[in-house]
Copies of this chain bind each other. A is one copy, B any other.
Amino acid sequence: MQRPVAEIFSQGDEIVTGEITDTNSAWLSRKLTALGFDVARHTAVGDRLEALVDLLREIAGRADLCICTGGLGPTCDDLTAEAVSQAFGPPLELDEDALAQVESYFTRLGRAMPDVNRKQALLPRGSERLDNLWGTAPGFALTAGRCRFVFMPGVPGEMKAMFRRWIEPDLHRRFRLCPARLVVLNTVGMGESSLQERLDRIALPPEVKLGFRAGGPENQVKLLFPANFSDTEINDIAKRAADAIGDAVFAIGGSGEAENDIASVVGRELAARGSTLHVAETLSGGKLANRCAGEPWFRGAVVIPDSAGLCRYFGVEPSDDLARAAAWIAPRLREQGADHALAQIAYYTRDKLHDETATIEVHFILAAPDGVWRQTRTIGGGSARKQSTATALSFDLLRRYFQKKPGLHAL
């Protein structure tokens, strides 16, 4: 069965001039792909009426569904409703219910509605209003050509809430959806070329589409199965692929919200065990704490900026050998009121952190109820890359500990 074709369209000068990164398109694409749409294209254009009108007409001729975000705000550069009117004909009319909703939003904030916001209640005649219970701008939907158009505000929180509440149920009613099955093998610490070479050793059926998401410490191998493959066939093929890659695979999952990153996998394990975690991070520079914040098992973090800070905090010296340093650190880690405590021991200057060509050796130390464990890795790239890699490998130490994988050393 042919999947219905969807497009994502984002409006705003702030996107085409690069002032902001469009994250809505990726979120919407994950949702639509999981529902069974074939997302064929993302397009962003600026706040120019003619460009908007042209694009809307293009899309009406080639897609079955178009989700549009942005351009519904109160200001002069918000042109979406006007563009829809010009592209497809219906004049704009004041929607009294929409006006009442915009007014009530300001009433709840204890303020009078500014006059400029009245514009947000002007909708194309005959369109269906999409109530925005989370902000000021109502959305709307209409059909033009072969294409169902849905218009939502660009503020991510409002857009997501509206999609879940109004759009997703409507799409199930309107389209015959039969999703292809995506299996994702999540790996950590192995590059794209190595993954491809290991997979070349097994014969995948030609109908199974192989893809990669590469570029960070975590790389994904994606296997897309047509709807006619059985669960047994899918599981067998996925297992063979995972075995070919080896223990770099830390999770096997489906499509959806990409929550099988190493942090989420380890976080679920900590929660399931009723364990708690304290971290003392160096190279990851607060990124590890930020990934833990808000989780029930998180008991706090110390963010240590450099070698001098590390020596001050733990009482170690860069000249200490690793075993000695770990012996100093382990009991101090245990004092933090958590049953698992993780530290990154690394000696480096700020210059080396920022130098894209310099690598830094990091000893990841885990003080766990049954002992102290270590994994040592060398980390390269710019400072942001070093932070991400150190964050992922911190969680990977916990993963290997929980799964009793090789590569761990007891201290």
Q: Enumerate chain A interface residues (CB-CB to B < 8 A).
A: 10, 13-23, 25-31, 33, 39-47, 51, 73-77, 114, 116-117, 134, 136, 154-157, 192-194, 196-197, 200, 209-215, 220, 222, 255, 258, 285-294, 296, 298-305, 309, 312-313, 337, 350, 353-354, 356, 381-383, 385, 387
Asked whether A29 lies within 8 Å of B41 as measured between CB atoms, the reply is no
A353 contacts across to B, CB distance below 8 A:
294
Asked whether B75 lies within 8 Å of A192 as measured between CB atoms, the reply is yes
A193 contacts across to B, CB distance below 8 A:
74, 114, 116-117, 136
A26 contacts across to B, CB distance below 8 A:
15, 18-22
A43 to chain B, nearest CB (A): 5
A227 to chain B, nearest CB (A): 16
Closest to A115 in B: B197
Known: A75-B212, A289-B303. A21 touches B19 (CB 8 A): no
Asked whether B294 lies within 8 Å of A304 as measured between CB atoms, the reply is no
Asked whether B354 lies within 8 Å of A294 as measured between CB atoms, the reply is yes
**Which one, B73, B77, B285, contacts A289 given CB within 8 A?**
B285
Give the oligomeric copy count.
Answer: 2
**Which one, B18, B75, B350, contacts A196 given CB within 8 A?**
B75
**Which one, B18, B134, B382, contacts A157 given CB within 8 A?**
B382
Known: A285-B293, A294-B350. A41 touches B51 (CB 8 A): yes
6 A-B pairs, CB-CB below 8 angstroms? Answer: A16-B39, A17-B33, A20-B26, A286-B292, A290-B290, A292-B305
A285 contacts across to B, CB distance below 8 A:
289-290, 293-294
A48 to chain B, nearest CB (A): 8
A52 to chain B, nearest CB (A): 11
Asked whether B157 lies within 8 Å of A356 as measured between CB atoms, the reply is yes
Cα A222 to Cα B76 in complex, Å, equals 13
A305 contacts across to B, CB distance below 8 A:
292-294, 298-300
Cα A46 to Cα B7 in complex, Å, equals 12
A19 contacts across to B, CB distance below 8 A:
26, 30, 213, 220, 222, 258
**Which one, B41, B192, B258, contacts A73 given CB within 8 A?**
B192
Asked whether B45 lies within 8 Å of A40 as measured between CB atoms, the reply is yes
Closest to A46 in B: B40
Cα A73 to Cα B30 in complex, Å, equals 23
**Which one, B10, B77, B289, contacts A212 given CB within 8 A?**
B77
A192 contacts across to B, CB distance below 8 A:
73-75
Asked whether A381 lies within 8 Å of B73 as measured between CB atoms, the reply is no
Asked whether B299 lies within 8 Å of A301 as measured between CB atoms, the reply is no
Cα A381 to Cα B135 in complex, Å, equals 11
